[in-house]
Amino acid sequence: MDWIIWVKAFHVVFMVTWFAGLFYLPRLYVYHADTSDTISLERFEVMERRLFTMMTIGGVLTVALGLWLLAVQPFLLGDGWMHAKLALVVALAAYHAWCWPLHRALVEGRNRRSGRWFRMFNEVPSIALIAVVVLAVVRPF
């Protein structure tokens, strides 16, 4: 069962990749929403699209490796902290999915949200990360 620690390690690596995107993509939206020059708009389009792709790969691999770990350690599903962590993962996946239509609205000139709104939106993954790490490490219940 030594291979489990390798799966856990890569689960964490891909989680870091996913969160890097979840932290930075909405920050790009702040700048995108606050700019109007063509060169910057085109640059943000490319950066956002590439970052979304990278964070999607990180998110899919995080979830896949997490499910693998649960498949070989199903007893973890009996713990309340795991239920809370899984609920947060589902919420983060929904947040992630919501980022794409926000990107499309920015690219297509349909965005109705301010840079300030995107700044607030950008705080969600930070709060979720703290909660996920505390749940996984402390296992409070």
Domain that holds residue 73: 3-138
> For a pLDDT cut of 90, what percent of the chain falls above it?
99
Domain count of the chain? 1
pLDDT at site 67: 98
**pLDDT tens-place string over residues 24-66:** 999 999 999 999 999 999 999 999 999 999 999 999 999 999 9
Of residues 9, 21, 34, 29, the one with CA closest to residue 93: 21
Phi, psi of 114 (to 5 degrees): -90, 165
pLDDT at site 80: 97
**pLDDT tens-place string over residues 93-117:** 999 999 999 999 999 999 999 999 9
Residue with tokens 């973890």: 76
pLDDT at site 127: 97
